[in-house]
């Protein structure tokens, strides 16, 4: 698990955000062209509580991508057969060669929302937790890169965002009965979220925790993390400006010894020695 804690960059200037966002959108389009040329497959998961910014982040990241070579997957209520064959349900949605797929919630819905609200049985939950890591490792072995991003928000910020949605004449429809149930199950969801982090973060596809209390910063960090994972053609990621100088967001374990608050350069130097998950 790699945790990004960027809450202390709350004073980012909106004008600087727009300029940085544009530069990173250009880089993401370069990455997509490389994916098409090299016939790569990338699945990018966005998980998080309601109002964390999953849909908005995906919208910003994908805005200028070539439509024929990226997809958004946001599945609704599963059928009985899909619920019984959970991972097979998502196998149908996985990226093809030359394609990037964004998931607005993913197969981890089973281990987060479904188990929290009792929409799946404990046996179904246990089976998912037992099998998902090997399933992902098998996909990795077949050259499907899985990036797992979790957008994290504080409870008071979530409540404030929900209140604004409920009273908005434009987006009040986004608040569902499930959303209201999830508010009451904050602590239960927290327990299952931590189980997901502890049991399903592995070397090939670790969980990347992005602080989403400030959506602008969360979006930029999602961009930056994704781009750093690939050596695509003509890669020129702009160096972070003052708002992220000295950013020390990375952590890992070597011989069971934790290394925290690492810079990206330190993390890259050590990750080859990291303990396998």
Average pLDDT over residues 253-262: 76
Q: Give me the pLDDT at residue 246, please.
A: 41
Q: Give me the pLDDT at residue 128, please.
A: 98
CATH: 3.40.50.720, 3.40.50.300, 2.60.40.10, 3.30.930.10. Which one for 2-242? 3.40.50.300
Q: Give me the pLDDT at residue 19, please.
A: 86
Summarised one tens digit per residue, pLDDT across range 83-131 is 999 999 999 999 999 999 999 999 999 999 999 999 999 999 999 999 9
Q: Give me the pLDDT at residue 234, please.
A: 95
Q: Give me the pLDDT at residue 261, please.
A: 67
How many other C-beta atoms are found inside a 10 Å radius of the C-beta of residue 261? 12
Summarised one tens digit per residue, pLDDT across range 9-62 is 456 778 888 988 999 999 999 999 999 999 999 999 999 999 999 999 999 999
Mean residue pLDDT of the chain comes to: 88
Q: What percent of the chain has pLDDT over 70?
A: 86
Domain boundaries, the chain: 2-242, 246-277
How many other C-beta atoms are found inside a 10 Å radius of the C-beta of residue 46? 25
């Amino acid at each position: 698990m790699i945790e990004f804690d960027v809450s202390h960059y709350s004073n980012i200037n909106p004008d600087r955000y727009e300029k940085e966002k544009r530069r990173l959108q250009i880089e993401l389009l370069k990455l997509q062209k490389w994916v098409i040329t090299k016939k790569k497959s990338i699945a990018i998961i966005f998980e998080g509580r309601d109002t964390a910014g999953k849909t908005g982040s995906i919208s910003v990241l994908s805005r200028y991508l070539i439509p024929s070579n990226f997809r958004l997957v946001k599945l609704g209520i599963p059928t009985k057969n899909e619920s019984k064959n959970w991972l097979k349900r998502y196998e149908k949605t996985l990226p093809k060669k030359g394609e990037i797929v964004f998931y607005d919630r993913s197969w981890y819905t089973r281990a987060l929302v479904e188990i929290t609200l009792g929409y799946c049985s404990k046996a179904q939950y246990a089976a998912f937790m037992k099998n998902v890591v090997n399933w992902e490792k098998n996909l990795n072995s077949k050259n499907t890169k899985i990036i797992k991003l979790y957008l994290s928000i504080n409870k008071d910020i979530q409540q404030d965002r929900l209140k604004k949605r409920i009273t908005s004449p434009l987006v009040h429809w986004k608040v569902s009965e499930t959303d209201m149930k999830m508010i009451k199950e904050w602590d239960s969801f927290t327990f299952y979220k931590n189980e997901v982090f502890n049991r399903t973060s592995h070397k090939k596809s670790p969980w990347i925790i992005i602080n989403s209390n400030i959506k602008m910063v969360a979006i930029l960090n999602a961009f930056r993390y994704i781009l750093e994972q690939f050596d695509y053609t003509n890669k020129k990621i702009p160096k972070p400006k003052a708002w992220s100088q000295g950013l020390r967001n990375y952590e890992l374990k070597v011989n069971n010894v934790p290394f925290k608050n690492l810079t990206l350069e330190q993390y890259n130097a050590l990750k080859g020695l990291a303990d396998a998950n």
